[in-house]
């Protein structure tokens, strides 16, 4: 697939050309690798955010379970003492 970008600042083009030259690759290869990296990082960031939300929900659920277990232990303790 092809992407064309118009009206790019000459300084930006020169900077990319210098980076490509340092890496011994073409400007196209450099820009392709940058775009690919950005796309995959975006996907990773979304997955990380989803995972973080799931972990937080699990922590809250585990705290609720712990509270219930503690209540049951107290109830059992009270019943045993009677």
Kindly report, residue by residue over 24-79, the tens digit of the pLDDT.
999 999 999 999 999 888 888 888 889 999 999 999 999 999 999 999 999 999 88
**DSSP character string of 61-82:** HHHHHHHHHHHHHHHHHHHHH-
Average pLDDT over residues 3-32: 95
pLDDT of residue 58: 97
Question: Is pTM beyond 0.75 here?
Answer: no
Separation between Cα atoms, residue 23 and residue 78, nearest integer Å: 73
Q: Is the pLDDT of residue 82 over 80?
A: no
- The Cα–Cα gap between 81 and 61 comes to 30
Q: Considering only residues 82 and 9, tell me which one the structure prediction assigns the higher pLDDT.
A: 9
């Amino acid at each position: 697939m092809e992407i064309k970008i118009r009206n790019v600042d000459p300084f930006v083009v020169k900077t990319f050309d210098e980076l490509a030259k340092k890496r011994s690759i073409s400007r196209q290869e450099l820009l392709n690798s940058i775009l690919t990296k950005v796309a995959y990082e975006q996907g990773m960031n979304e997955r990380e955010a989803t995972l973080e939300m799931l972990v937080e929900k699990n922590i809250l659920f585990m705290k609720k379970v712990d509270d219930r277990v503690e209540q049951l232990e107290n109830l059992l303790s009270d019943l045993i003492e009677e």
